[in-house]
Every structure is written in structure tokens, then in C-alpha cells.
Structure 1
Amino acid sequence: MKKLSLLILSLGVLFSCQSASSKTEPENNPEIKMEENKTMQQDVTKKKNRIVVFETTMGKIKAELFEDKAPITTNNFITLTEKGYYNNLIFHRVIPNFMIQGGCPEGTGRGGPGYAIKDEFGPGLKHDKAGILSMANAGPNTGGSQFFITTVPTPWLDGKHAIFGQVIEGLDVVLKISEVERNKMDRPLKDVIMTKVYIVNE
């Protein structure tokens, strides 16, 4: 009888220890994991590069902004865009088989926002195709608001002009603009206007 009592007591202690131990182990809570996954997905969404839309008198152009690789340059461009800076400016310089250039408030190629930003050459960014969105400048660290879009690969510009985006829709419009009639200064005889420029999330 005494042995039986000891056995029952031992089993009771063992059971209580297992119960206490189970409370300190991680729980497999699917609801918590789902919430964590949602949060992670939201974080990824927040980091997705934004899109700039150029509505022009010759059609619409969309370009992805490389916020992940060129944060300084894209932040400057987005800030100006959201202020309406580029609305109703023209492409003041167009050269077939090269590029189209805009962003000068004077329409001459000499104007800017009144400040300059540091050159930023993001990893892996090359002028290796048509549709590259890059900063125009007058030398190192002189970029401001003027930009250009390539119509062919222009590798000689690598390390000299800061790339900050790429056309994802409307490359045909870019090519059409590059081929308009122009004067000796490469300015279109008929203004090609950016009627509205704005940022979207896609």
C-alpha cells in the first residue's frame, strides 16, 4: 500500500512538471504568424519603387524611379514633381539616336531649381539601353531639375550622369519626340510640352 502511494505521488509530480514545462515552450500560433506575414508584406510594399507619369502633348510616358538604388536623386525629383515644378515645361533639347531633355524652367537649358545635388551613381546602373532616365548636368555635382531620357545605349555617359529611372511604358512616345523637327540648337520647332507630371504607386 505504501509502495502504491509512492507510485501515485511520483506520477503526480511528473505530470505537474510536464504541464509547467509546456507553458515555457514556444507556441505554434498560426494567427500570430499570419499577422507577421502581413506586416512583412506591407513592409515590402512600402519599399516598392514609385512611378512617374509624364503626360505630354505627344503622348504619355511612364518610368520607374529607382528609389532603392538612387535615393538622393529620386527624392529630389519626386519633391520637385509633387510641387508641380515640371508641369507645362518643355523638352527643350531633342537629338535623334541620342536622347530628349527637359526640366528647365526657362526652356533654354540654363535654368534650374536654384540649388544643386550631389552626383549619385547607383550600383549596376548603366546607360545601356533606350529609355534610361538620367540627370543632365554642367559638370560634377551640378544636377538640379533637368533630366534626359535616352533613345539608344549611351555608355560614355556612365559615371558622369546620375541614372534614377527607366521608361516602362511609352518608349514609342520618347522616340517620336526625339524625331521632331528642330533648330540648330536642337530645340523643337513646335514645343513638346509636359502638360502634367505626377507620381503614382503601381
Structure 2
Amino acid sequence: MKRAPDPLLVHYRCPKTVENFCVHSRNGYYNGHTFHRIIKGFMIQTGDPTGTGMGGESIWGGEFEDEFHSTLRHDRPYTLSMANAGSNTNGSQFFVTVVPTPWLDNKHTVFGRVTKGMEVVQRISNVKVNPKTDKPYEDISIINITVK
């Protein structure tokens, strides 16, 4: 898969989340990270340097708080959102939904939308995965994220 999706980031409603994503992206933090969790008909997840779903940290060295906003919802496909292990545990992991996921509202910070390359997201979401771990049998990696 050659072309990555282009997200639209919503910085004025969740400034820490977007700053964290942009700084990590500009510093090459995400380069080489795999999509370690893929659930067909739901989402694709990445951002963990260990590729296990257990790693990653924010640009501040630990976790940071959620930034929920009433106008930023999981109300459509291709929503960028922070993966977490509970309230205020955001680090570097994020996911892209492939369907509306309203049950995630006020649990995961929405910080953008994919505006181009949706077909790439769909292709990634349809790869074969280990049903016990949701990890793809073949690695799918981020080559580079460019933030303008």
C-alpha cells in the first residue's frame, strides 16, 4: 500500500492531543510503527513502538488527559482518535475508525478525520489477522507521516 491517508487535524478543540501527534510525527516517532491491532468493520490501530499494544508515550514522557468536545464525535467512518487504557491515559497510540462508533464518545479523544486515502484505510482494515490477537499476519508499517 503506497499512499497513506491524509488526516484533517482539529487543533483548536483538542490542542494537547494534536500537539502530541504533530510533534511525534515531525520527529519521526511513528516511522516504522506497525498497525498492531486491526478489527475488520471497526478500526485500525497503531502508534506503539513495541508493536504489542502495550507501549508508547506522549511527547511529555508519560500520559496526558483526555480532551473531549461535544462537536468531535465518533459519528462517521475515518475518525482519528486516541487509543487508551482508561481515562486520561493517552500516550502515542491512535486508531482510525472504518464505521461510526458512537459508543467511544467521551472515552477516546477524537482529534481528526481522514479526508483523502479512505480506500487505503479500508484495505488495511480488511487484511487477515490472528483472531486471538487482532494482529495482522503480515506487518503493515507507517513509512512516514508528514505534518504541514
Task: Please confirm whether the aligned pair reaches a TM-score higher than 0.5, indicating the same fold.
Answer: yes
Matched ranges for 1:91-110 at <5 A? 91-110=35-54
Contact 1:58/1:177 (8 A) holds in 2: no
Alignment size in residue pairs:
144
Q: Is the counterpart of residue 89 in structure 1 residue 37 in structure 2?
A: no
C-alpha separation in 1, matches of 2:2 and 2:41: 18
Where does 1:31-180 land on structure 2 (aligned, <5 Å)?
57-113=1-57, 114-180=61-127
Query: Given the two structures, how large is their TM-score scaled by the length of structure 1?
Result: 0.69
* Offset from partner CA, 1:38-80 (integer Å, 9 cap, x none): xxxxxxxxxxxxxxxxxxx453210011012111110111111
Percent identical pairs in the alignment equals: 48
For 1:193 and 1:179, how far apart are their aligned partners in 2?
15
CA distance in 1, matches of 2:14, 2:74: 14
Deviations along 1:164-185, one digit per CA (max 9) or x if unpaired, are 0000001111011011001120
SS at match of 2:4: strand
Which residue identity lines up with residue 188 of structure 1 in the other structure?
P
What CA distance in whole angstroms lies between the structure 1 residues aligned with 2:123 and 2:141? Answer: 13
Mean Cα deviation higher: 137-146 or 63-72: 63-72
CA distance in 2, matches of 1:130, 1:89: 22
Counterpart Cα distance in 2 of 1:142 and 1:58: 32
Q: Secondary structure at the match of 1:60?
A: coil
Indicate the structure with greater helix content.
Answer: 1
Distance in 1 (CA, whole Å) between partners of 2:124 and 2:70 is: 29
Report 1 or 2 for greater relative contact order, CA contacts < 8 Å, sequence distance ≥ 6: 2
Contact 1:132 1:165 in 2 (8 A): yes
Residue in 1 that maps onto 2:139: 191
Q: Which runs of 5+ in 2 are unaligned?
A: none
More strand by share: 1
Once residues 98 and 70 of structure 1 are traced to their aligned partners in structure 2, the CA distance between those partners, rounded to angstroms, is 23
When Rg is computed on C-alpha atoms for both structures, the one with the higher figure is 1
Displacement of 1:188 in angstroms is 0.6
Q: Name the amino acid aligned to 2:69.
A: G
